[in-house]
Amino acid sequence: MLANRDDVDGRAGTDRRTVLRAAVGGTAAAGAVLTFGGSALAAPGGGGLGVRPETPQAALRELARGNQRWRSLRQRHPHENRHIRQVLVSGQRPFALILGCIDSRVPPELVFDQGLGDLMTVRSAGGVLDEAVLGSVAYGVLELDIPLVLVLGHQSCGAVAAAVHAEETGEKLPAHIQYVAEQIFPAIDHSQHGAARVDATVSANARRVRDALAAEPDLAARVAAGRLAVVAARYELRDQFVHRLG
């Protein structure tokens, strides 16, 4: 599991889900089979995606293993070959949804050493929420039954730094960047100063987004039932380590 540095439907509903899954997952490919009972994507001749983590805890463990491979330079780059690409034509079954920043240094599939079909990723500057982001997260959880949503902040986040600067100086940021900053303002840690304020706000913002997602009624119901975990984590650029935020 990710280390913690803070503490070391009726028919209409069925039809709707069928249409949504078909739209995103694609139509079935000839000769390929989706096997959900065994929690795996497979096709004739073997070489499928393997067992999908079905619980929040299993999903966290898989992300932790992948991050360990990444930071130790032992990446496997899984699920990239021609056969897997054909298997995935028939649908997707990602085991985790990562809500992260647009920063080019923090691509989730690399940070967690995962491949095609493993992760659903949603990215916005600073990981801020809006209706499109909320709808994307809800799709992954409610339609694809993803058991883990991980909000991933990161060291030296430019969006957070811009928000802190704007709040301190009163300077208006250009175009829609001001909107992003205003979503981060409530997370600014005024107990810190300078670079320490930016750094503390990165973590505070990830926690705030996590809490907002976990409070969404449809997601909260799944959390209460043990079918979903919504967690906050942080990626350190200096050592490529992802640690959970308490």
Sequence-distant (6+) residues with CB within 8 A of 179 are none
Residue 165 annotated as binding site: no
Buried-state track 230-244, b at ≥16 Cβ within 10 A, e below 16: bbbbbbeeeebbbbb
Residue 218 annotated as binding site: no
User: What are the tokens at 145?
Assistant: 């039954």
- Other beta carbons less than 10 A from residue 35's beta carbon: 12
**C-alpha torsion angle, residues 43, 107, 196, 206 (rounded to 10):** -40
Tell me the three state secondary structure of residue 141: helix
For 85, what's the count of Cα atoms within 13 Å in the CB-facing half-sphere?
A: 3
Residue 157 annotated as binding site: yes
Give the sheet arrangement for strand 33-35, strand by strand. Answer: 33-35, 40-42, 50-51
Give the residue ranges of the annotated binding site. Answer: 101, 103, 154, 157
Give the residue ranges of the annotated binding site for Zn(2+). Answer: 101, 103, 154, 157
